[in-house]
Structure 1
Amino acid sequence: MRHRLACFFSVVLAALPGPGFAQTRGADRLAVIQNETGLTMREFFASPAGTGPDSTDRLGADTIPPGGTWRLRIARDLGCRFDLRGVFMDNSVLERRNIDLCNVTRVTFGDPNAPLREATLTNDTELLLRGLFVTPPGARDRGPDRLGAEVVLAGATWRLRLGRTRDCVFDVIAVFEDDSEERRDRADLCRTPRIGFGDPTIPRREVEVANDSPTSIQRVFAAPPGAARPGPDRLGAATLGPGESFRMTIRARECVIELRAEYEGGGAETLPAVDVCTTRQIAFDGSSLPRRAEQSVTLVNRHGAPFQEAYAAAADSDDWGPNRLDSAALDIGQRRLITLVAGCELDLRVVFPNGGAEERRAVDACAIPIVVVRPGWTIAEDLADGAGGDPAPTDPPSAGSIRLRNAGSLPIVEVFTGAPGSARGPDRLGAAILGAGDSFDIRPPPGSGCTADLVAVFRDGQEVARPALDLCAGLEVSLP
């Protein structure tokens, strides 16, 4: 059965004053609803006794303020006896059944002689308080949530209004965002009209939390080491992008806490013992995340017009991603190294100044690291044909790569970049060749460091080695 604080309310029944009152509006029966609860009535329902609750709120957009009245009109053909139900601003509900409206013209909710009972609630926890229940001591039914759609933020206060009641002692239950609960049983609101949850003596500590990783952080948690609950998400509905930071406040007696960041796309990073008493800046660098594989491909423009935009995406992706040329067009004869997080198979798309576009799907960039975009390239069998003989790129090598330039008279047919002292590994040119005077931007293979033993093989079998070469130096290296 729905819980009601019956002691908050009473019903005053007035005798029918005479036939003139009932005849005010033809066939309608009239009754005055008077609100003396001390709370605003926001909904009112009336249905013939025993027929079940009425779904129509008779107040509509109106309310009945404390001390106010409202006139109820009931069709005469519905009989005399009605079940009445009022819903108040704190979600409490009062029901009165089998009221004879043929002999009663005024129904008063509440006791106008009872004192108004109010208390100030303080949330001294770190958690958002999302539910509040106030019941007579020992009641099994909690009744309505007094907060309704409201919440009490950490460190905030809220005014609890119980309306007119002679009672003083209540059980008060707070429910927080992590579903934990705190109780204040038998709280005497007459003697102490203030209720606190949490411990206000626990100090507040502030730290700056930064995201130094290349991936957005979706959630941040802070709790004492080994705590059963991780606590609330300190970011709430926000995310922390690469290079961004936010100010975090935590209440803790101890200085050492455990911080955990959960990244976009999965993966997490934990800082198990951070001293927030001595540390004012904390950074997540993503070092514990698995390294994402990168793939590079060089686009060479052998078409009849510049490329206004160029796109590269993993073959299994539904999104082309950003324009890889940024704001600079790729003129005829130029080339551009494109690097992205993907496997070997890429989808490529170029857009011309007139808005036209061409695409090539499922290009094996591991086997064909240089793709020549020329008329018919979308169906050509040899995507590397025509890679040599183009003018030197005007832009410098991209960060984290080097540019190999063939300064010899013969083409380079193979390039290897094995770790120092290890096997050569796969041919980085794949099916392509590096013609005389041509150049090729190359990055470290995924999962390897920057230092490598580079070996280039020319068409006549000559080999040129560059041991312990820094493939991330952003320099141009001429061969032989």
Structure 2
Amino acid sequence: MRLLAALAALMAMLAGAAPAAAQNRFWLQNNTGQTIVAANVSPSRITEWGPNILTRGPLLPGMQVWVEPGFSDCYLDIRVRFADGTEDGHLGVHACTLTRIAFGSDVPQAAPPPPRPVEHPNPSFTFVNLSGEPIREIYVSLTSQRNWGADRLGPRQILPPGASMPITLPRTGVCTADIRIVYMDGRVMEQRNIETCSIRSFAWR
């Protein structure tokens, strides 16, 4: 009796140590609108295709077939051939995390490229002093802005007659700018609503 009990315990231990059943079984779904006449499944680690798994005949559109691979690999390559001779395939599918693999409308499509950012016209320009007088302060802002901002020349700087300097403005879609000038004697002059997107330089007179 003890011998029989020991044998029974040993068999139970061996049964418990047996590998679990493969989890790579799945439904193969045909959502293509075409008849699939052959399908092959193989582990992704090898290059040869397995035999045709459609042993009961072609897989019609909208139909599915239960697939039980004869190996335990989770990563599978799947190839199908349609009635017109064309082929399609999924490579490196993690079948152990899926219950259904579809060809057709359920196949994830590549995400469309992101929309290109809108490129607004450039309102920046070169300011040219043709007033015949030195300028000690220059303020330029888009008409959409509520204040003049900082002096473009900076402290202790002047723009002599005939000289020029670049004026950089943000691309917001606004193409009109206001300009305010302060001369050496303190006189202030302004020009408003100047269209700058279509010009490269603006002559101040």
- Structure-2-length-normalised TM-score: 0.49
The structure with higher relative contact order (CA 8 Å, sep 6+) is: 2
- Structure-1-length-normalised TM-score: 0.24
- Normalized per residue, which structure has more helix? 2
- Normalized per residue, which structure has more strand? 1
